[in-house]
Amino acid sequence: MEKIDIRQMRVLVLLVRYKSVSRVAELLEISQQGVSSHLKKLRDLFPAELFIRQSAGLQPTDYACELAARFEQILTDIDGVFVAAPFDPASSERTFRVMANEYAQLAIIPRLASALRTQAPSIRLDVVDFQAELHLEALASGEVDLVIGFDAYLDPGLLRATLRRDHYCCVLRRDSRYLPGNTPQDMTAIPFVQFANSVGNFEGQMSPQQVASAAVATLPCYTSLQAFMSVNDVAACIPSAIAALGDFRVLEMAGAPQQFEVVVGRHRKSQGNLAIEWLAEVIKAATPLASA
């Protein structure tokens, strides 16, 4: 078998099918001489006669027909190597596991779930908390399919696509005494909270020392802010998309707001996985590029 190549297999299959050297040359976009050369090599390889020349063209022998059937299956398998396994979201019952940070869980995952219910009602979504130190290993092992988070925290080797560009803003509760008109000139005069592992925290408005000394509390997540503000008149610096989800008033701050990008990332080993590629596209389509 090492003496025969794929081109000769294709020539034999097509000659058996069309019984014409000129037709096979046209289909393979080679010269008739090239087809004849492949046919000569085939004759030399096999012990039995392959074709009988007749006035109407080449007549394949039974032996040639049997070889062509075997070669056709081999060629189908070889061609199939270059075709990814099909994926039909409408009939799939797959469970996708997505690692997402708090921002994505609040501002992106609800839209994604709604899109999945419409396009693929039997697909399930399993969302786990983003862990910067573990996300690459989780993707590489297949423990999670995709990750959604801030671009700055994702491994640079991942395949990624930007979902949203957002910025931080200062928020107050609706009845705050620090609403515009009553706002102190100095931001340090407003009691505020910061968040663990947040890059917002009034950067550009106060020095790190002022932030450390003036914050009245450090909250673990954005979802606790609404309850905290219900009994505490404080300011907080949060992403604008998160601010739009709560009952807050946005307070204009001096200088340009701090910006960031939210991306969806997948491991390079997922290339050719149509299911994961499809989910990434659904996430992109369900997420407005600009924040609300």
Q: How is residue 63 written in tokens?
A: 């032996």
Cα–Cα distance measured from residue 138 to residue 128, given in angstroms and rounded to the nearest whole number: 11
Return the closest-CA partner of residue 272 out of 149, 159, 111, 119. Answer: 159
Q: What pLDDT is recorded for position 54?
A: 84
Q: Could you tell me the sign of the dihedral formed by the alpha carbons of 239, 240, 243, 245, in that order?
A: negative
The set of residues, in sequence order, having a beta carbon less than 8 Å from that of 88 and lying 6+ positions away, is none
**DSSP β-ladder status, 159-173 and 248-251:** antiparallel
User: Where do the H-state alpha helices sit in the chain?
Assistant: 6-18, 21-28, 32-45, 62-80, 102-107, 109-119, 135-141, 208-214, 225-229, 240-245, 274-286
Ramachandran angles phi, psi of 44, nearest 5°: -70, -25
Q: How is residue 50 written in tokens?
A: 């392959």
Q: How is residue 94 written in tokens?
A: 């797959």
Cβ distance 276 to 98 under 8 Å? no
Our separate counts of H helices and E strands in the chain read 11, 11
Residues of the chain with CATH 3.40.190.10: 95-157+261-286, 166-259
Cα–Cα distance measured from residue 113 to residue 62, given in angstroms and rounded to the nearest whole number: 58
User: Where do the H-state alpha helices sit in 157-255?
Assistant: 208-214, 225-229, 240-245
Report CA-CA distances (Å) from 89 to 85, 199, 264.
13, 37, 19
Report CA-CA distances (Å) from 172 to 77, 180, 209.
64, 10, 22
List average pLDDT for each run of 10 residues in the chain, which is 292 residues long. Answer: 80 91 90 91 90 85 92 83 75 95 96 95 96 94 95 94 92 87 62 76 54 77 94 92 92 78 94 92 86 46
| Domain formed by 6-80, architecture | Orthogonal Bundle (1.10)
Q: What pLDDT is recorded for position 125?
A: 96
Q: What pLDDT is recorded for position 121?
A: 94
Q: pTM to 2 decimals?
A: 0.70
95-157+261-286, CATH topology level: D-Maltodextrin-Binding Protein; domain 2 (3.40.190)
166-259, CATH topology level: D-Maltodextrin-Binding Protein; domain 2 (3.40.190)
Q: What pLDDT is recorded for position 208?
A: 54
Q: What pLDDT is recorded for position 212?
A: 55
Report CA-CA distances (Å) from 250 to 168, 169, 222, 243, 247.
10, 7, 15, 8, 10
Cβ distance 87 to 275 under 8 Å? yes
Q: What pLDDT is recorded for position 292?
A: 44
Residues of the chain with CATH 1.10.10.10: 6-80
